[in-house]
């Protein structure tokens, strides 16, 4: 199956490197590009093609989808890894992908990465796990917030419950990579975002980026989370 993500007004920004949204997608209606399919993965040049992927997580990676579709394709195409661009495409199934679905994906991703921060902060991890099991999401947040603050130089100035990983410097003891292109900050951030999403303090969509972090920290996670996400999507009603 091929998947495509759409935003709240059922448009797509993934078909154009500049982020120009498409016309709204309607079930059964074909979209077709003008000119040849074009995309050079070595240069950040505009794409000319309709994007999809056979991997549901890849289809939403870097996006904040409100809908995830199954699509049919035709004509010329270009593929690079899990990404595909096609000359013609139509939506055959469209399902809402709300905040609560993204929270479920994040929950899986955090679970796959949990051991890394639990080894460093065992006391806090026990309290976090107990609160999670009991559905006490505010208690989860109260436990993980000071842990998140402790990662950064000047982290005590982080306001409840803001994100500061782009503004503040990570302390030297946390800059060592957990795995390729991922450090303790990424792992803790997932644990920190999860209760905020469960409490609807932050509204987020998608889940592909979290799966990327989980895979880097715990190889094999992507395929497990992908299978869970496809099953979750498959059980949803048509939008």
pLDDT in tens, 106-147: 999 999 999 989 999 999 999 999 999 999 999 999 999 999
Long-range contacts of 116-125 (CB under 8 A, 24+ apart): 116/178, 116/184, 116/187, 116/217, 116/218, 117/147, 117/184, 117/187, 117/188, 117/191, 120/184, 121/147
Q: For residue range 60-102, what is the model confidence (pLDDT) as tens digits?
A: 876 678 999 999 999 999 998 899 999 999 999 999 998 889 9
pLDDT value of residue 42 = 66
Lowest mean pLDDT among 12-21, 126-135, 186-195, 201-210: 12-21
pLDDT value of residue 160 = 85
* pLDDT for residue 18 is more than 70: no
pLDDT value of residue 138 = 97
Structure tokens at 46: 């505009």
What is the rounded distance in angstroms from the CA atom of residue 214 to the CA atom of residue 70? 25
What does the pLDDT average to over 183-199? 93
* pLDDT for residue 52 is more than 60: yes
More confident site: 174 or 19: 174
Q: For residue range 203-221, what is the model confidence (pLDDT) as tens digits?
A: 877 788 889 889 988 899 9
Nearest to 3 by CA among 108, 78, 94: 94
């Amino acid at each position: 199956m091929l998947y495509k993500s759409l935003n709240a007004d059922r448009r797509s920004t993934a078909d154009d490197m500049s982020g120009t949204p498409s016309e709204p997608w309607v079930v059964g209606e074909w979209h077709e590009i003008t000119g040849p399919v074009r995309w050079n993965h070595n240069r950040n040049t505009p794409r000319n093609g309709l994007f999809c992927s056979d991997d549901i997580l890849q289809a939403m990676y870097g996006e904040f989808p409100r809908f995830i579709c199954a699509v049919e394709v035709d004509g010329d195409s270009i593929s690079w890894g899990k990404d595909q661009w096609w000359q013609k495409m139509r939506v055959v199934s469209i399902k809402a992908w709300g905040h609560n679905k993204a929270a479920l994906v994040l929950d899986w991703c955090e679970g796959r990465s949990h051991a890394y921060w639990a080894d460093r902060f065992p006391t806090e991890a026990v309290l976090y796990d107990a609160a999670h099991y009991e559905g006490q999401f505010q208690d989860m947040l109260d436990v993980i917030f000071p842990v998140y603050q402790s990662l950064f130089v000047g982290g005590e100035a982080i306001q409840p419950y803001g994100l500061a990983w782009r503004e503040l410097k990570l302390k030297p003891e946390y800059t060592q990579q957990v795995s390729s292109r991922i450090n303790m900050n990424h792992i803790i951030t997932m644990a920190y975002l999860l209760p905020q999403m469960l409490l609807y303090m932050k509204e987020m969509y998608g889940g592909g980026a979290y799966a990327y972090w989980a895979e880097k920290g715990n190889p094999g996670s992507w395929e497990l989370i992908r299978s869970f996400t496809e099953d979750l999507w498959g059980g949803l009603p048509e939008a």
